Structure 1
Amino acid sequence: MKLQIAIDRVLLDEAKVLMQKLAPEADILEAGTSLIKDYGVTVLDDLKEEAGGAQLLGDIKTIDEGAYEFKQGFRHGADILTVMGASSIETLQKCYDVSEGCGKDMMIDLLECTPEKTSEIVHFPHAIYCLHTSVDQGATANPSGDVLAFKKAFPGVRRVAIAGGINLQTVAGLSAAAPEIVIVGSGITKANNPIDAARKFRRVMAETCKSSM
């Protein structure tokens, strides 16, 4: 499992400091939606340098103008960009084509997608499908169950991420589900010691992976 740390709802200077400190502990560092809305997609240029060896994800949540927004996001340094699963098939295809052409990754945010809609958009072989409980809804009640149910319903999907109020206890229960990416935001960035919190998540994830072997 990979650890993605989401940095959001902070000033740019604080985001830069957090990214620099957390880069050694993260596989993926996320420039969150609010951060990009506050400063624009060009903020990715500022954050790329701080990401170190971690991949940089821009959570731009594209829902239209797919080709343009993805070209801009990748041009400004993102390795992964997000598009809403609720988008039209045409938008998703354009985002995927740009991602493939740039050698980058597309993450499809399945927030509020019905099973029927999801079944229409699971044909992108390299895309990451993100099961996402919104901030307004609260924490994901059963992330392991959600991932297992998704994999059972859509066995052809190879890459799955889980997001939404993930904590150390729920991460420890993910051994059977084994998502590719676990996304954690305030559980790390709002901790008294974010670096220590990130290290705890990494330890639990490593132990979880061992127990699943």
Structure 2
Amino acid sequence: MKIQAAIDRVDLDKAVNLTKQISQYVDIIEWGTSLVKDFGIQRLAEKTDAFGHAQILYDSKTIDEGEYEFKAGFESKADILTVMGAASVATLKKCYQVAQNQDKTMMIDLMGLDEAQIKIILGFDQAIYCIHHSKDSGKIKNASDTAASFRASFPSVKHIAIAGGIDYANTVALAKQGIVDIAIVGSAIVKAADPVAEAKRFGKVVSDEK
């Protein structure tokens, strides 16, 4: 399992500083939707030296103009870009094709979708399907139960991420369970009194699993 640290709702200097501090301890650094909206991907791309060995994810939440947005995002050095599962199937196909052509990764944000809607957008084998409770609706209370339910409903999905208030206890349980490929951790790392110490602690969950 990988740890993705989500940095959001901060100014760009703080995002850069946080990334420099924690990127060596996590697998993926996410620069969140507010950073993409506030500063734009071209400006974010100027700061990619801060990411160290970690992969770069821009949480673009593409909903239309999939080919254009994904080409622009990957040209701006992102390794992973997000598209909303609520987008049209045509948009998802365009995003997926760009990702495949550039040997990059598409993450499908399933926020707000029910099982019937998710079934319509299955079949993107190399994409990451992200179980995501929105900030407004509250955090996932038991992430391992949520992951197990998702796996039972969608056994064909190869790559799964989970987000929504994921804390340390949830991360440990997910790592032991072995269903989820990526645990997306936001506030539990980046808003901690000592983000570096927390990044190390979460990263150790992954290293202990190997």
**The two structures share one fold, judged by TM-score above 0.5:** yes
Q: CA deviation at 1:178?
A: 2.9
Of 103-112 and 198-207, deviating more is: 198-207
Is 1:70 the counterpart of 2:70? The answer is yes
CA distance in 2, matches of 1:43, 1:28: 19
Q: CA deviation at 1:103?
A: 0.6
* 2:183 partner amino acid: V
Aligned position for 1:204: 205
Superposed CA RMSD in Å reads: 1.1
Q: CA deviation at 1:65?
A: 0.4
Alignment of 1:94-105 (within 5 A): 94-105=94-105
Aligned position for 1:49: 49
Aligned position for 1:176: 177
Q: CA deviation at 1:122?
A: 1.2
Residue deviations 1:55-93 (CA, integer Å, cap 9, x gap): 000000000000000000001110000000000000000
Aligned position for 1:121: 121
* 1:123 partner amino acid: G
Conservation of the 8 A alpha-carbon contact between 1:145 and 1:177:
no
Aligned position for 1:80: 80
Provide the TM-score with structure 1 as the length reference. 0.95
CA distance in 2, matches of 1:24, 1:92: 32
Residue deviations 1:37-72 (CA, integer Å, cap 9, x gap): 110121331231110111000000000000000000
Aligned position for 1:15: 15
* 2:124 partner amino acid: F
Aligned position for 1:134: 134
CA distance in 2, matches of 1:56, 1:63: 20
Conservation of the 8 A alpha-carbon contact between 2:6 and 2:186:
yes
Aligned position for 1:191: 192
Q: Secondary structure at the match of 2:41?
A: coil
Q: Secondary structure at the match of 2:22?
A: helix
Residue deviations 1:189-212 (CA, integer Å, cap 9, x gap): 1111100011111223444x36xx
Q: CA deviation at 1:150?
A: 1.0
CA distance in 2, matches of 1:108, 1:44: 21
Conservation of the 8 A alpha-carbon contact between 2:151 and 2:179:
no
Q: CA deviation at 1:177?
A: 4.4
* 1:196 partner amino acid: A
> How high is the sequence identity, in percent, across the aligned residues?
47
Q: Secondary structure at the match of 2:23?
A: helix
Conservation of the 8 A alpha-carbon contact between 1:44 and 1:58:
no
Q: CA deviation at 1:171?
A: 1.3
Residue deviations 1:93-148 (CA, integer Å, cap 9, x gap): 00000000111000000000111110011100100000001111121112111111
CA distance in 1, matches of 2:206, 2:28: 15
* 1:195 partner amino acid: V
CA distance in 2, matches of 1:51, 1:177: 27
